[in-house]
């Protein structure tokens, strides 16, 4: 019998949707203040992993989560910056902050790092994926190796981290939060730079977010994504990018690029008690550029 004939005999797995008896809900006592207070509504507790955590956006989000009460922070980065970790430790001496050298595209490396996080902090409550790469090259000239690397880091790497984190959250039975960093590039073609691989990798992340939100809600795991616009970071500095920056700002209703801390607020909301009924959402943070 051929493989094609076997298709008619296959059975597919079915998702299990959540219900009030199976959905893990973090008790109110886990938060620093009652839910109906200003502090309690946006309280962040427990342990969070941030990949790409020493980049400018990841660092700003790390600070914001710690400001809102996060007790344990683990940073995954391919090029760890101990200076930034020391800065966070000085500013938040009441919190435990660690960093590990991790290649998010390496399944075994990620599994070891997540295991190490659990060993150090005892549990895992949130994962925020900032690790990613970009490449601007005309599609006709793009080496396939570059295409594969961009997709491997941005899309596959995010899934590897999410799967490893979710397995721990399911075993704990306490639910959790997972946030992917997509991009405005997931929603429209950027101009003037050609970056087909990056755009495709981020668009895939938005759908992956929705797929995992559907599958993992039954475990109390909320999966969402953020889609930042052009950010005023070192990646977008230099005279060689002046023309592109002028174009990006000129096509934005607010006339400027965003700041890393303007992304951090959405991360806090999605990880905090305020985001406990937000699942499968993508928040565009681009000053309104998407309206054009």
Q: Is the per-residue pLDDT at 279 higher than 80?
A: yes
Q: Is the per-residue pLDDT at 272 higher than 80?
A: yes
Q: What is the pLDDT of residue 292?
A: 82
Q: What is the pLDDT of residue 8?
A: 66
Would you call 198 a catalytic residue per the annotation?
yes
**C-alpha closest to that of 203 among 190, 192, 213:** 190
Would you call 31 a catalytic residue per the annotation?
no
Residue 246's pLDDT band, with cuts at 50, 70 and 90, is confident
pLDDT in tens, 175-212: 999 999 999 998 999 888 899 999 999 999 999 999 99
First-last CA distance in the chain:
54
pLDDT in tens, 107-161: 999 999 999 999 999 999 999 999 999 989 999 999 999 999 999 999 999 999 9
Q: Which of 31, 62, 198, 225 is catalytic?
A: 198
**8 Å CB contact between 174 and 220:** yes
Residue 27's pLDDT band, with cuts at 50, 70 and 90, is very low
Give the strand order in the sheet containing 96-101.
Answer: 96-101, 72-77, 47-51, 126-129, 176-181, 221-228, 282-285
Q: What is the pLDDT of residue 233?
A: 77
3-state secondary structure of 184: helix
Q: Which of 61, 62, 158, 183 is catalytic?
A: 183
CATH 3.30.70.260 is the classification of domain 41-285 = no
Residue 234's pLDDT band, with cuts at 50, 70 and 90, is low
Q: How many CA atoms lie within 13 A of 10 on its CB side?
A: 9
**C-alpha closest to that of 91 among 60, 120, 112, 113:** 60
Share of the chain above pLDDT 70, in %: 90
Distances from the Cα of 13 to the Cα of 8, 16, 264, angstroms: 15, 10, 37
Per the model's pLDDT, the better-predicted residue between 21 and 203 turns out to be 203
Whole-angstrom Cα distance, residue 199 to residue 291?
A: 18
Would you call 202 a catalytic residue per the annotation?
yes
Q: Which of 185, 202, 219, 227 is catalytic?
A: 202
Q: Is the per-residue pLDDT at 29 higher than 50?
A: no
3-state secondary structure of 101: strand
Share of the chain above pLDDT 90, in %: 66
Residue-range domain boundaries for the chain? 41-285
Whole-angstrom Cα distance, residue 101 to residue 144?
A: 27
């Amino acid at each position: 019998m051929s493989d094609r004939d076997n298709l008619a005999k296959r059975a597919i797995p079915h998702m299990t949707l959540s219900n009030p008896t199976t959905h893990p809900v973090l008790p109110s006592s886990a938060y620093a203040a009652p839910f109906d207070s200003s502090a309690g509504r946006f309280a962040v507790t427990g342990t969070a992993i941030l990949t790409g955590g020493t980049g400018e956006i990841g660092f700003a989000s790390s600070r914001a989560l710690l400001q809102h009460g996060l007790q344990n922070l683990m940073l995954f980065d391919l090029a760890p910056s101990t200076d930034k970790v020391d800065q966070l430790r000085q500013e938040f001496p009441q919190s435990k902050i660690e960093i590990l050298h991790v290649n998010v595209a390496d399944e075994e490396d990620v599994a070891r790092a997540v295991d190490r996080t659990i060993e150090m902090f005892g549990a895992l409550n949130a994962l925020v994926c900032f690790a990613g790469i970009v490449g601007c090259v005309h599609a006709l000239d793009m080496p396939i190796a570059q295409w594969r690397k961009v997709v491997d880091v941005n899309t596959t790497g995010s899934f590897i981290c999410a799967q490893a984190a979710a397995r721990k959250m399911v075993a704990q039975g306490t639910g959790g939060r997972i946030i992917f960093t997509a991009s405005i590039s997931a929603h429209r073609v950027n101009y003037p730079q050609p970056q087909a691989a990056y755009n495709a990798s981020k668009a895939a992340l938005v759908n992956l977010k929705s797929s995992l939100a559907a599958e993992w809600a039954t475990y109390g795991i909320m999966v969402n994504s953020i889609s930042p616009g052009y950010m005023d970071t070192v990646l977008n500095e230099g005279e060689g990018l002046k023309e592109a920056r002028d174009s990006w700002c000129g096509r934005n209703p607010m006339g400027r690029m965003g700041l890393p801390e303007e992304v951090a607020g959405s991360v806090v909301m999605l990880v905090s008690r305020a985001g406990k009924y937000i699942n499968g959402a993508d928040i565009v943070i681009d000053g309104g550029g998407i309206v054009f």
